[in-house]
Structure 1
Amino acid sequence: MIIALIIAGFFIWILITGKIILSIQFKKEVKTLFGQSESISSNLFHSEQIYGLPEPVQRYFKYILKEGQPYISYARITHDGQFKTGLDKKWVHIKGEQYATTEKPGFIWKGVTAMFTARDMYIADKGRLVVLLFSVFKVVDAKGEEYDQGELLRWLGESVLYPTNLLPGERLKWMAIDSNSAKLTFNYNGLELFFIITFNEVGEIIQMETKRYMDKENLETWIIKIAGYEELNNVKVPTSFEVLWRLKQGDFSYAKFNIKRIEYNKAEMF
C-alpha cells in the first residue's frame, strides 16, 4: 500500500512538474513570436485599396472592414471544440490558446485535451508540431520543409480572424475566378502558397481550399469551412471552423473549433 502511494505521488509530481515546464516553454515561445514582429496598426484601411479586386473579394472587404479601420498587428485567441488525433480516431474535446503576428508571419497554438497537449507553430520562418502525452512525455516533434509549408498555410487560412492581413500587398494577390470565388496567392520566404476561396452572397468567406502536405511526400486537398460571423472587438470575424482533408476515399474532418475570445494588438499573453 505504501509503495503504491509513493508511486502514485511520484507520478503526480511528474505531471505537475511537466505542466510547469510546458507553461514556461510556451511563455518563451510567445515572447519570441511577438519579439520578431512589429506593429503596423498606424496603417488604416481605405476603400480605394480594394478597387480593381475581383467582385466577391470587394464584397468581402466591404462587409468585413470599416473605413479607416486600423490594421491588425497582433491577435490572441481562445477556442474550444473537438479534435481527432487520426482520421480513424474518435473525437475528443479540446481547448486552445493561440497568438499570431501579421507584419512578420507567425503564430503559436497550444491545444489541450485530457490525454495530450499539442503546440503548433510558425516562428522565425519555421514550422513545428510538438505533442506531449499528459503534458510530459514527448511523442511528436515534427519539423522540416513540409511543416514550414503547412504551418504557414494554417497562419494564412486563419487570417479571416485578423482580416486586414488579407488586403492586397507585395506578398498577397487576388485573382478572379467567378462571382462567388477567387484565388488568393501568397509568396513568402521562398514559399508560394494559394487558397481557392468561396464567398456567399453577403460577402462572408465560407470555404478555403488548398494543397497541403499530409506527410513528407504527399500534397492533399486541405479545406477550411467557416461560419458564424460576429463582430468581436469592432472586427467582424467567423466563430466556427471545421478543418478537413478531401481524399480519394472521401472527406475526413479532424477539427471543429468555436472561437470563445479574440483580442487585437496586445503583444502579450492572456
Structure 2
Amino acid sequence: MILLLIIIGVLLLVILLGKITMYLKFKNQVKLLYSNALNISDKTYSIGQLDGLPIPVQRYFKYVLKDGMPYISSVRLKHKGLFKTNLKSGFINITGEQYFSVQKPQFIWKGSTLIFTARDSFIADKGNLKVSLFNIFTVVDGKGSEISEGEMQRWLAESVWFPTNLLPSENVTWIAIDENLAKLSFRYKEISFDFIVTFNTVGEIVTMETQRFMTNKREPWLCKMENYKEINGVKIPFSAQVVWKLKAGDYTYAKFQVTEIKYNQNISKTIA
C-alpha cells in the first residue's frame, strides 16, 4: 500500500511539473509574439476605404465595423468547445487560449483536454504544431513549409475575430464573384493562398474555404461562423466550426465558442 501511494504521488508530481513547464513555455512564446508585434492602433478605419470593393465585402465591413474606429493590433481570446483527434474518434471537451498580432502575422494557441495539450503557432515567420500527452510527452512536432502555410491560413480565417485585418492592404486583396461570394487573396513573403468567402444578406461572413495541407496533400478546408455579437465596438462570430471536406464526406473536427476576447492590451496585462 505504501509503495502504491508513493507511485501515485510521484506520478502526480510529474504531471504537476509538466503542467508548470507547459505554462512557462507558452508564456515565453506569448512574450516572443509580442516582442515581434507592431502597434497600429493609432490608425483608424474609414468607410471610404470600401470604395471599389465587391458588394458583399462592403456589406460585411459596414455591418461589423464602425466608421472611425481604431485598427486592432493584438488580440487575446479564450474559448470552450469540442474537438476530434482523428476521423474515427468522438468529440472531447477542449478549452483554448489564443494570442494574435495583426500587422505582423502571428498567433499562438494552446488547446487543453484531460489527456493532451496542443499548441498551434505562427511566430517569427515559422509555423509549428505540437501535441503533448499530459503536458509531458511530445507526440507531434510538426514543422516546415506545409505547416507554416496551414498555420497562416488559420490566422487569416480567424481574422473574423479582428476584422480590421481583413481590410484591403499590401497582403489582402478582395476579388468579386457574385452578390454573396468573393475571393480573398493573401500574400505574405513566400506564402500565398486564396479563400472563397460566403456572406449572408445581413453582411456576416458565414463560411471561408481554402485548400489546406492534410498529410502532404491539399484538401478543401472550411470554416463556418455564426452567432455574431457586438463586443468592443466590433461584431464578430462567437461560434465557429472547422471542417475537412473529403471525398468520403465532410469531417467536422472542431466546434468552438468564444468566451472572452480583448483587443490592444499591453503584454503585461495579457498573461499572468
**TM tier relative to shorter chain:** over 0.9
Q: Deviations over 1:7-45 (max 9, x none)?
A: 111101100000111111100000000110110011100
Q: Which residue of 2 aligns with 1:59?
A: 59
Report the 3-state secondary structure (helix = DSSP H, G, I; strand = E; otherwise coil) of the residue aligned with 2:90: coil
* Residue 157 of structure 2 corresponds to residue 157 of structure 1: yes
Q: Which amino acid aligns with 2:141?
A: D
After TM superposition, the score normalised by the length of structure 1 is 0.98
Distance 1:34 1:267 in 2: 9
Q: Which residue of 2 aligns with 1:230?
A: 229
Runs of 5+ consecutive residues of structure 1 not aligned to the other structure: none
Distance 2:162 2:197 in 1: 16
- Residues 25-174 of structure 1 mapped to structure 2, 5 A cutoff: 25-174=25-174
* Residue 19 of structure 2 corresponds to residue 19 of structure 1: yes
Q: Deviations over 1:34-93 (max 9, x none)?
A: 110110011100011110000000000000110101000000000000000111111000
C-alpha contact 1:34 1:267 (8 A) present in aligned 2: no
C-alpha contact 2:183 2:196 (8 A) present in aligned 1: yes
Q: Deviations over 1:93-135 (max 9, x none)?
A: 0000000000100000000001111111000111101111111
Q: Which amino acid aligns with 1:253?
A: T
Distance 2:26 2:171 in 1: 29
C-alpha contact 2:183 2:195 (8 A) present in aligned 1: yes
Q: Which residue of 2 aligns with 1:202?
A: 202
Report the 3-state secondary structure (helix = DSSP H, G, I; strand = E; otherwise coil) of the residue aligned with 1:44: coil
Runs of 5+ consecutive residues of structure 2 not aligned to the other structure: none
1:80/1:213 CA distance change after superposition, 3 Å: same
Q: How far has the Cα of 1:234 moved from its partner?
A: 1.5
Q: Which amino acid aligns with 2:8?
A: A
After TM superposition, the score normalised by the length of structure 2 is 0.98
% identical aligned pairs: 51
Q: How far has the Cα of 1:144 moved from its partner?
A: 0.8
Name the Cα RMSD after superposition. Answer: 0.7
Report the 3-state secondary structure (helix = DSSP H, G, I; strand = E; otherwise coil) of the residue aligned with 2:177: strand
* Structure 1 moving runs of 4+ over 6 Å: none
- Residues 205-224 of structure 1 mapped to structure 2, 5 A cutoff: 205-215=205-215, 217-224=216-223
C-alpha contact 2:100 2:108 (8 A) present in aligned 1: yes
Distance 1:142 1:107 in 2: 16
Q: How many residues in Structure 1 have an aligned counterpart in Structure 2?
A: 269
C-alpha contact 2:65 2:233 (8 A) present in aligned 1: no
Q: Which amino acid aligns with 1:28?
A: N
C-alpha contact 2:227 2:239 (8 A) present in aligned 1: yes
Q: Which amino acid aligns with 1:219?
A: R
Q: Which amino acid aligns with 1:170?
A: E
Q: How far has the Cα of 1:267 moved from its partner?
A: 3.7
Distance 1:161 1:131 in 2: 25
Distance 1:125 1:204 in 2: 30
